[in-house]
Amino acid sequence: MTGEELKKKVQAGGIVYGTMLSTSRNPRWALPLAGFGLEFVVIDTEHSPRSRADVADFLAAARDSGAVLIVRIPIPDSHYVTMALDAGAHGVLAPYCETVEEVEEVVEAAKWRPLKGALVRRVTQTGKFPSAATKKYLEERNKHTVCLIGIESVPAIENLDNILKVPGIDGIFVGPNDLTISLGIPDQYEHPDYERALRRILAACKKRRVPVMVHHHTVELTTKWLREGARFVLHGSDVRLMHAGVRAEFGAVKAAAAKLADAKAKDIGESDEVV
């Protein structure tokens, strides 16, 4: 799947499925990744210690995995956007955006690179390009680029209507951990205030026809918000999915062994990774 195909699918109301890579950094991970059947993956560089070279090598190896490769950059900054795209990413996820100016800077770098400075700001604010040829060239060059904006705080939600007016946003990302902390209810994902905030985001985005991804880590929460309108399904992470697989399979093996020994199998519990 290309970035353009992914965007068209969600814009048409379809659902796309992906996960976040928080630990995987060896390019050899590209081989199993190709067999996961995912339509996109988010490669984290906000909380994970990946260098620019690590990201470039991983992107080069995973290019033929079939998944759209999106890099979560450390901060909403044009320099990080272009670094990720120049390294081979199909798109970027800019975390913790709160202002129109932050979002404009990210979108400008993602959708109109290599145009910079006053001229790219004029494109965002007025739609005027240096020439019709420049507009056609940049549209073709960046047609596969996916630009996701992180709405992860109360100030961001308060400013969401203005943020969504910025042209070029392909999706809104919600980080539940950051958002619940901002709401004063850390990690309480069934709290009425959190649910109210998510529904407010979903409603605002629906009006603007902008798809939403909410990064939950349990099947129950992911499917709940899928039913409520999320269309970018970003579920779990490499660490959490591996943990869940080990828990389920070794749990079954340990349970069988415990019956033979007339003992009780110990459950390792859910992963506590937050990304």
Catalytic (active-site) positions: 47
**In angstroms, rounded to a whole number, what is the distance separating the alpha carbons of residues 102 and 108?**
10
**In angstroms, rounded to a whole number, what is the distance separating the alpha carbons of residues 247 and 24?**
19
The helix/strand/coil state of 83 is: helix
**In angstroms, rounded to a whole number, what is the distance separating the alpha carbons of residues 81 and 68?**
16
Q: 85 near 106, Cβ under 8 Å?
A: no
**In angstroms, rounded to a whole number, what is the distance separating the alpha carbons of residues 131 and 133?**
5
Residues 256-269: b if buried by 16+ CB within 10 A, e if exposed: eeeeeeeeeeeeee
The helix/strand/coil state of 176 is: helix
212 phi, psi to nearest 5 deg: -125, 140
